[in-house]
Chain A
């Protein structure tokens, strides 16, 4: 599978798009929605290794120093950097004070394409800044923290070692999966040396399977009342440790997405939890980063597969507050529009129960509006919802035959197995089934990015809508200010409000001596609640989405007055009266 890792094809400059021999740029008209003249060329039809991810980040930073910066949030177990690409308009404001969207991918080693979604997002924003007014506006007051892979060790193993489409899911910290006191001693074996771990089958007159009459590469159960010809022996491998089991203790041995400290549960409740919450260095690095960046208001953690826009809760022990459900629903429904074939779903109700998942810590622990998109869906085969693959469905074979010309499968071929005798090896390549085929990858990246940018736009943005004054006599003036958040997401989710996670929003009056300060709770009749302590800086627990909050002060002094609203997750805005 080293073919897939074409770092060499990465090239700086449009002159190298096609035909390395010619230095002359190829004349072209940029397609709608594509960068006019990209400075960094990246082919979005392949999956990049760790070195390439860092290199793409470096090239983007070099070409777009005011839009993109590469840094690291920590190191993986095997010592690889957890690259962070920060994207914003660095010429305006402070990146860490703008409302921020956090994006990561690849927490499961084999779920690789989240990395490309994340890289594409960074690349696209860099290359389009200055070309599209909406993106300029977005990057003026928002920051994206993009961590293309939070599991670089597992990614490297997936890309460079023989694997199936589903292996490894775990990271690379060695664990004793079979309880025999040895770690990682019986992993898959690439018996035929083709870089893939495919299936093993053996002729057996008592076997339950036959070759599908329509698709001989596929084994299907023999019809009732007839005898089969084949038995299936599982994924390519040997009994490396002599315990009678094949492939029972592969690399790692845990689920990185069950190691997070919100409703973490031990193995008997949640398989893969590992020894204790945050036992993995990658988990801790992300947590430390997020805690240190209270400006993060939204998050996306890419997985595969199935075509889902997932929100929590992961476990039935939690229930999201109605105020928050409304926010997730508004975003999720637009997501379904942006991503044909994807469904907006709740993890525990619509998928399965997850204790200690990443998105649950983001929301439960930090009150952040978080989605996990399950990338790639069989809907994409023929853009029809009814192509619902199960194990014996032939749609993937048909797609392979008609559109990939047979590239997705390794033909069955004989092999002499030390334990099983004469068998055949063949089947689906690791790059097929869960990861996008090349020609669909960029489209998938663009659509998922579009959903993330929609969420980024809809994160809270506070502004001082208006400031009005009224003389009260005796040298006293009433100053009334309306502060607004005209985006969907509130400055504090209800989870945040109820657990005091972020500080309140501050609405501050300067330019006069404040005698008293109030939050107006009913605009129509002026009912208000006084804040006796420090009235010049009113503390507002939350500015909901698509809402305004009215405050007023009684002040001594003629002004002009400056009113500032300052929110950890909603930004900052000021207005000065004349």
Chain B
């Protein structure tokens, strides 16, 4: 019931959406051999876009990656209050191989900017809401998808001694079969855990020992033991996975987690950007972690020694707070409606990931989607596809069995689409081992192939981002009342309301104290406040037109005018003149 109420109040952007579907989408990109942009191409296209729409954009650099690549942020919006009204931040590609997010961010920005000239609904949206786009959060890792050879790299260019042997980056993957891509490698080994799946021998799965199966292969990422330590690919290029370098549920001393949260310039740059932009009310994160197919839920649980989670004694929160649950459910339903995506793989678990961080630490409304997956998977379990290839090789037997079914289905789907997504297993020469190289091409399970799949993905998420931009909180003052108490005394009251769909902040942010609440100030001018504070802080006003009433007693002569103002960075501001009569 609440949800439909909310939706009714925030409908106007549908008009915008209808127009979007008619647009050709990625234009120049379609002419390239890959539909995805390198860092250089993306940077150039962003600059072109910013130049072409200089009145409605600002392009800034929020960080330089250790590999020397700029992390860009593009502001889209018009009007003098563009930096002081609620903003949506779209972040893509913290997980390096996830290129489709970058395309969604870029294409959506471009589409909004190009439509704004001739379309009043789009122009109105951009005049009311600011949208920041960070299309490529982990440019060093992403670049590995473009060859030399191409592989699913997750770490940025900060050299690290992953295996603690006093050498950095000395044993990464190698393209053994010279096909220009790093896939998987299976090595015949009686101690191995893996067998070829009986239904499709291309698919590897863990032997089920309970059923009497016996492992025959070891599974590794394609490569040699470059440094002669009997381990394969254990110290590859780079150091920190940006999507593991944020503070919530951070893994200390974890693989590719960095020296500490925010040790990577990319994550720290984003943190400083966010601190400098308190007006960011919500984020949409394109990456492995999803809470749109299945919204985050409140789960009651206890923390350390039975104390409540989210307290000093009990330690970190392990789920969202109860009061925020309805909003996540509402936005998820809206996502289902707008994108048509209602089923999909479950979210990859995160540790130090960007999506959780924005809710649990930065207190923002945080929504995330994987953007694309092989359509209609037989089951809700292909989250592992988003994990790095190396991590995929270490799942349990039961998840591996499910995964095998998903991979069979994916192979069928790719075959039906005539997409070459799989490198057949072929013998490879490494030392004295009997090895074969093959498997899914880098990113095949993350990024849609060019054509209808990519076009519809850009379109769906472009529409959802537009929709989300229309849900930003927006404060209003309503229903001001002045009652005479006689003898020059008056009771003044007003409703502080939020006309956006989203609450002014999350319920959690009241405990975080960021973003701050609403500042409400009554300037009595010629009158005198007898009771009630001149300046008050209203912690949170839920969305969908709900409000909270505040009142004062003042003394003043009839006809005296006073000014009431309310503001917060995430809601914008409102003011009203109140006259005693």
Taking CB atoms, residues of chain A closer than 8 Å to B304 are: 316-317
Tell me whether A278 and B315 are in contact (CB under 8 A): no
Known contacts A244-B534, A500-B253, A533-B229: A353-B262 contact under CB 8 Å: no
Tell me whether A275 and B230 are in contact (CB under 8 A): no
- A542 CB to nearest B CB, Å: 13
Closest residue of chain B to A291, judged by CB?
B259
Q: Counting CB contacts under 8 A, is B316 at the interface?
A: yes
Tell me whether A178 and B315 are in contact (CB under 8 A): no
Contact with B along A519-550 (1 / 0, CB 8 A): 00000000000000100000000000000000
Tell me whether A269 and B315 are in contact (CB under 8 A): yes
Q: Counting CB contacts under 8 A, is B118 at the interface?
A: no
Known contacts A180-B519, A278-B268, A365-B259: A316-B305 contact under CB 8 Å: yes
Q: Counting CB contacts under 8 A, is A243 at the interface?
A: yes
Interface segment among A121-129, A257-265, A392-400: the answer is A257-265
Taking CB atoms, residues of chain B closer than 8 Å to A268 are: 310-311, 317, 508, 511-512
Known contacts A181-B567, A266-B360: A499-B253 contact under CB 8 Å: yes
Tell me whether B517 and A179 are in contact (CB under 8 A): yes
Taking CB atoms, residues of chain B closer than 8 Å to A317 are: 304, 315
Q: Counting CB contacts under 8 A, is A305 at the interface?
A: no
- A112 CB to nearest B CB, Å: 27
- B122 CB to nearest A CB, Å: 31
Q: Counting CB contacts under 8 A, is A176 at the interface?
A: yes
Closest residue of chain A to B312, judged by CB?
A353
Tell me whether B164 and A355 are in contact (CB under 8 A): no
Give the dominant DSSP class at B's interface: loop
Taking CB atoms, residues of chain A closer than 8 Å to B408 are: none
Q: Counting CB contacts under 8 A, is B201 at the interface?
A: no
Contact with A along B246-289 (1 / 0, CB 8 A): 01000011000001111100001001001100000000000000
Q: Could you tell me which residues of chain B, from 563 to 581, have a CB within 8 Å of some CB in chain A? A: 567-569
Closest residue of chain B to A501, judged by CB?
B253
Q: Counting CB contacts under 8 A, is B343 at the interface?
A: no
Taking CB atoms, residues of chain A closer than 8 Å to B253 are: 499-501
Most buried by A among B271, B312, B360: B312
Q: Could you tell me which residues of chain A, from 178 to 217, have a CB within 8 Å of some CB in chain B? A: 178-181
Tell me whether B247 and A316 are in contact (CB under 8 A): no
Tell me whether A241 and B535 are in contact (CB under 8 A): yes
Contact with B along A356-376 (1 / 0, CB 8 A): 000001001100000000000
Q: Counting CB contacts under 8 A, is A420 at the interface?
A: no
Closest residue of chain B to A261, judged by CB?
B260
Closest residue of chain A to B310, judged by CB?
A268
Tell me whether A269 and B310 are in contact (CB under 8 A): yes
- B259 CB to nearest A CB, Å: 6
User: Which residue from B260, B274, B361 sits with its C-beta under 8 Å from A361?
Assistant: B260
C-alpha gap A103/B511 in the complex (Å): 35
Q: Counting CB contacts under 8 A, is B85 at the interface?
A: no
Taking CB atoms, residues of chain A closer than 8 Å to B263 are: 261, 278
Tell me whether A178 and B537 are in contact (CB under 8 A): yes
C-alpha gap A275/B537 in the complex (Å): 20
User: Which residue from A242, A276, A315 sits with its C-beta under 8 Å from B271?
Assistant: A276
- B306 CB to nearest A CB, Å: 11
Tell me whether B275 and A267 are in contact (CB under 8 A): no
Taking CB atoms, residues of chain B closer than 8 Å to A241 are: 535
Most buried by A among B166, B271, B535, B568: B535
C-alpha gap A264/B360 in the complex (Å): 12
Tell me whether A180 and B260 are in contact (CB under 8 A): no
Q: Counting CB contacts under 8 A, is A162 at the interface?
A: no
Q: Counting CB contacts under 8 A, is B533 at the interface?
A: yes
Count of CB-CB pairs between chains A and B under 8 Å:
112
Tell me whether A243 and B262 are in contact (CB under 8 A): no
C-alpha gap A51/B260 in the complex (Å): 33
Known contacts A241-B535, A279-B275, A365-B252: A261-B261 contact under CB 8 Å: yes
Q: Counting CB contacts under 8 A, is A221 at the interface?
A: no
- B247 CB to nearest A CB, Å: 6
Q: Could you tell me which residues of chain B, from 525 to 545, have a CB within 8 Å of some CB in chain A? A: 533-537, 539
Closest residue of chain B to A498, judged by CB?
B253
Known contacts A181-B567, A244-B534: A261-B262 contact under CB 8 Å: yes
Taking CB atoms, residues of chain B closer than 8 Å to A242 are: 534-535
Contact with A along B511-522 (1 / 0, CB 8 A): 111101101000
Tell me whether A277 and B261 are in contact (CB under 8 A): yes
Known contacts A179-B517, A279-B275, A317-B315: A266-B534 contact under CB 8 Å: no
C-alpha gap A242/B532 in the complex (Å): 12
C-alpha gap A359/B229 in the complex (Å): 35
Known contacts A261-B261, A265-B316, A269-B311: A277-B252 contact under CB 8 Å: no
Q: Could you tell me which residues of chain A, from 124 to 149, have a CB within 8 Å of some CB in chain B? A: none
Taking CB atoms, residues of chain A closer than 8 Å to B68 are: none
Taking CB atoms, residues of chain A closer than 8 Å to B317 are: 268-269
- B568 CB to nearest A CB, Å: 7
Q: Counting CB contacts under 8 A, is A270 at the interface?
A: yes
Taking CB atoms, residues of chain B closer than 8 Å to A178 are: 537
Known contacts A275-B514, A276-B262: A262-B568 contact under CB 8 Å: no
Taking CB atoms, residues of chain A closer than 8 Å to B228 are: 533
Q: Counting CB contacts under 8 A, is A41 at the interface?
A: no
User: Which residue from A243, A267, A276, A501 sits with its C-beta under 8 Å from B535?
Assistant: A243
Q: Counting CB contacts under 8 A, is B29 at the interface?
A: no
Taking CB atoms, residues of chain A closer than 8 Å to B567 are: 181
Taking CB atoms, residues of chain A closer than 8 Å to B30 are: none
Taking CB atoms, residues of chain B closer than 8 Å to A315 are: 315
Q: Could you tell me which residues of chain B, from 452 to 467, have a CB within 8 Å of some CB in chain A? A: none
Q: Counting CB contacts under 8 A, is B313 at the interface?
A: yes
Taking CB atoms, residues of chain B closer than 8 Å to A261 are: 247, 260-263
Known contacts A269-B310, A364-B252: A181-B519 contact under CB 8 Å: yes
Q: Counting CB contacts under 8 A, is A64 at the interface?
A: no
User: Which residue from A264, A265, A353, A500 sits with its C-beta under 8 Å from B164?
Assistant: A500
Q: Counting CB contacts under 8 A, is A75 at the interface?
A: no
C-alpha gap A393/B242 in the complex (Å): 54
Contact with B along A483-518 (1 / 0, CB 8 A): 000000000000000011101100000000000000
Taking CB atoms, residues of chain A closer than 8 Å to B537 are: 178-180
Tell me whether B311 and A277 are in contact (CB under 8 A): no
Closest residue of chain A to B304, judged by CB?
A316
Closest residue of chain A to B272, judged by CB?
A279
Q: Counting CB contacts under 8 A, is A42 at the interface?
A: no
Taking CB atoms, residues of chain B closer than 8 Å to A264 are: 247, 261
Q: Counting CB contacts under 8 A, is A287 at the interface?
A: yes
- A517 CB to nearest B CB, Å: 15
Taking CB atoms, residues of chain A closer than 8 Å to B261 are: 261, 264, 276-278
User: Which residue from A176, A499, A503 sits with its C-beta under 8 Å from B516?
Assistant: A176
User: Which residue from A179, A279, A316, A499 sits with its C-beta under 8 Å from B313?
Assistant: A316
C-alpha gap A361/B263 in the complex (Å): 13
User: Which residue from B164, B305, B511, B534 sits with its C-beta under 8 Å from A243?
Assistant: B534
- B62 CB to nearest A CB, Å: 14
Known contacts A242-B534, A243-B533, A365-B252: A265-B315 contact under CB 8 Å: yes
Taking CB atoms, residues of chain A closer than 8 Å to B360 are: 266
Closest residue of chain B to A181, judged by CB?
B519
Closest residue of chain A to B229, judged by CB?
A533
C-alpha gap A504/B259 in the complex (Å): 18
Closest residue of chain A to B227, judged by CB?
A533
- A482 CB to nearest B CB, Å: 25
- A316 CB to nearest B CB, Å: 5
13 A–B pairs (Cβ distance < 8 Å), ordered by A: A179-B516, A179-B517, A181-B569, A244-B533, A261-B247, A264-B247, A265-B316, A269-B310, A269-B312, A269-B316, A276-B361, A277-B247, A533-B229
What would 5 more interface pairs be, CB under 8 Å, given A261-B261, A267-B514, A291-B259? Answer: A261-B262, A269-B311, A276-B247, A500-B253, A533-B228
Chain B residues in the interface with A (C-beta under 8 A): 164, 166, 228-230, 247, 252-253, 259-263, 268, 271, 274-275, 304-305, 310-313, 315-317, 360-362, 508, 511-514, 516-517, 519, 533-537, 539, 567-569
Counting from the closest, the 3 A-B pairs by CB-CB distance are A261-B260, A268-B511, A243-B535
